[in-house]
Chains A and B, each alone.
Chain A
Amino acid sequence: GQNIDQPTEMTATEGAIVQINCTYQTSGFNGLFWYQQHAGEAPTFLSYNVLDGLEEKGRFSSFLSRSKGYSYLLLKELQMKDSASYLCAVRLRRQLIFGTGTRLQVFP
């Protein structure tokens, strides 16, 4: 079976930096996505990694190590609006398999 793990919940302070980890054991791998999802809404695309290394996009960065089956999403200069769930998803040949999701709460 497919296994994608993330911490269930995290808290952080406005202006701080937070790192959300994702480990995966899947039958295949064609890239890893990070999505943000606010309550009651559909996920929105944040990043996509297919090669090892760090991808930076503004306040958000995502890292991938394929040999370790590991990725993280780094959020800098946290804002209150960053309070949301963050979903890690592995792309298999034809589909996306989602992780358990991490609920991030940002406090003032």
Chain B
Amino acid sequence: GAVVSQHPSRVICKSGTSVKIECRSLDFQATTMFWYRQFPKQSLMLMATSNEGSKATYEQGVEKDKFLINHASLTLSTLTVTSAHPEDSSFYICSARGGGGSSSYEQYFGPGTRLTVT
């Protein structure tokens, strides 16, 4: 199946700093990438949807100026958490979907990034 990688897998940063998380589709072109956030013992919450070459669409309640998303190519999307605070500590997961074919309905998930803000 399709593989999606995320980097880093874990990051600890100080309050007020910015952190960049990369999401790559390794063996397919991802026309759409999704960013989710998951707090402990809770389900995944969609933060934003990004299509290659266009601005991301943010879900209600997600600050676009705080969570910067760039989807510059068909294999790479980045999420930058700016001026991170302890309440931003969470598990961030990306997923990617290809542009067509029989499996175009399926999203392939990355392994996630555990962010801890101290």
Residues on A lying within 8 angstroms of B by beta carbon are: 30-31, 40-45, 48, 50, 85, 87, 91, 94-101, 103
Contacts and interface: CB of A to CB of B under 8 A. Distances in A.
Contacts, number: 46
Interface of B: 32, 34, 36, 41-46, 49, 91, 93, 95, 105-112, 114
Contacts of B49: 94-95
Given A41-B111, A87-B43, 12 more contacts: A40-B112, A41-B112, A42-B111, A44-B109, A50-B105, A94-B32, A97-B46, A98-B43, A98-B44, A99-B43, A100-B43, A101-B43
* Secondary structure of the A contact surface, majority rule: loop
Nearest to A44: B109
Contacts of A50: 105
